[in-house]
Amino acid sequence: MACISADGTLTESARRMLGVLQHPASPEEVAQATGLPLFRVRSGLREMAQAGLVEEKEGRYALTEAGRQKL
Amino acid sequence: MSTEMTEGVKPVGLPRLNEPAPEFEAVTTHGVIRLSDYRGRWLILFSHPADFTPVCTTEFIAFAEIYPELQKRGVDLLGLSIDSVYSHIAWIRNIKEKTGVEIPFPIIADLNKEVASLYGMIMPGESKTETSRCVFVIDPNGILRAMIYYPLTTGRNMQEILRLIDALQTTDAHKVATPANWKPGDKVIVPPPTTLEMAEERVEAGYECIDWYLCKKEL
């Protein structure tokens, strides 16, 4: 996994993405704010959504309570 | 084709130009990636025969060298071979240790040959266990725009790959074609007329014409 290690800790790029999501944002906005490539952001947000750390609504991602606790 | 030839390789056709590139989800050195994750950007999906092999190593260093130029053009790179992600990681680290070159793009670990089969990257006449040196250029709408196939023994020409990207992007931007050996700054070809009236108008239009069907202009 690119964002969440086997022991449950977040990678540095995952923390950067979550940090941006204090306010809901699109993958394009997250890519711009973090400097990460867009494909990495889309892939990472999908992984973190599956883990329950973020949720997607109408193309914008926001932190869940579990995601907030990870920061 | 004999059973022996197709063993382990799903018999699928090659992808076709100007049709949607086959979607996939694959394990890479940068996590699980889908083709659709690249939507809105150009993508060069390329395969190499195997990690820790000499020609492939020279190619990876060369791809890393043109990476900044590709990024300027809005193009991402995605490699692939039938190796594990652990092998990819070890090879990338080895390249950095021995040459100082960092490989900035992800590589698909296509151990089950799923993506290789979808894109016709395995040429059983060359090798049943390795992908040939294939290049697929996919545009921001997910349409397959160009394919290049090289044999195992011949490393690819990075300047030709850059030239191909420049030509495709110029065609899209200006609705023109590009002649043999074209490079940015050269004259481009005006699409040929398709009616007699247009042909007669074309020769009067002020282009540099050899005849009505071959006219060039500056951009």
Establish whether domains B3-156 and B175-217 are of one fold.
no
C-alpha to C-alpha distance for B135 and B146, rounded to whole angstroms: 8
Contact at CB, A39 and B37, closer than 8 angstroms: yes
Q: What is the mean pLDDT of chain B?
A: 93
The answer to whether A39 and A53 are in contact (CB under 8 A) is no
If pLDDT is split at 50, 70 and 90, which confidence band does B4 have?
A: very low
Residue-level pLDDT at B3: 39
B60 Rama class: left (phi>0) / alpha (psi -120 to 50) / beta: alpha
Residue-level pLDDT at B159: 98
C-alpha to C-alpha distance for B91 and A57, rounded to whole angstroms: 39
This model of the complex carries an ipTM of: 0.91
Rounded to an integer, the average pLDDT of B31-50 is 98
CATH code assigned to A12-70: 1.10.10.10
C-alpha to C-alpha distance for B117 and B123, rounded to whole angstroms: 10
DSSP string, B136-196: EEE-TTSBEEEEEEE-TT----HHHHHHHHHHHHHHHHHS-B--TT--TTS-EEPPPPSSH
Rounded to an integer, the average pLDDT of B196-207 is 88
pLDDT exceeds cutoff 60 at B85: yes
- In chain A the first and final C-alpha atoms are separated, in Å, by 18
pLDDT exceeds cutoff 60 at A49: yes
Nearest-Cα distance to chain B for A45, in Å, is 11
pTM of the model: 0.91
Residue-level pLDDT at B6: 44
pLDDT in tens, B114-162: 999 999 999 999 999 999 999 999 999 999 999 999 999 999 999 999 9
Angle in degrees, CA B50, B53, B54, rounded to 5:
140
C-alpha to C-alpha distance for A20 and B32, rounded to whole angstroms: 21
C-alpha to C-alpha distance for A32 and B67, rounded to whole angstroms: 19
- Give the rounded distance of the alpha carbon of A17 from its chain centre: 4
pLDDT exceeds cutoff 80 at B11: no
**Sign of the alpha-carbon torsion through B74, B80, B84, B89:** negative
The answer to whether A19 and A68 are in contact (CB under 8 A) is no
Residues of A in contact with B40 (CB under 8 A): 28, 38
Per CB distance under 8 Å, which residues of A are interface residues toward B?
1-3, 28, 37-40, 42-44, 46-47
Per the annotation, the verdict on B209 as an active-site residue is: no
Superfamily of domain B3-156: Glutaredoxin (3.40.30.10)
User: Is B175-217 CATH 3.30.1020.10?
Assistant: yes
Contact at CB, A2 and B30, closer than 8 angstroms: yes
Nearest-Cα distance to chain B for A65, in Å, is 24
The answer to whether B85 and B109 are in contact (CB under 8 A) is yes
If pLDDT is split at 50, 70 and 90, which confidence band does B178 have?
A: very high
Domain definitions of chain B by residue range: 3-156, 175-217
Residue-level pLDDT at B10: 53
Domain definitions of chain A by residue range: 12-70
Residue-level pLDDT at B9: 52
Residue in B136, B163, B153, B12 with CA at minimum distance from that of residue B76: B136
pLDDT in tens, B42-66: 999 999 999 999 999 999 999 999 9
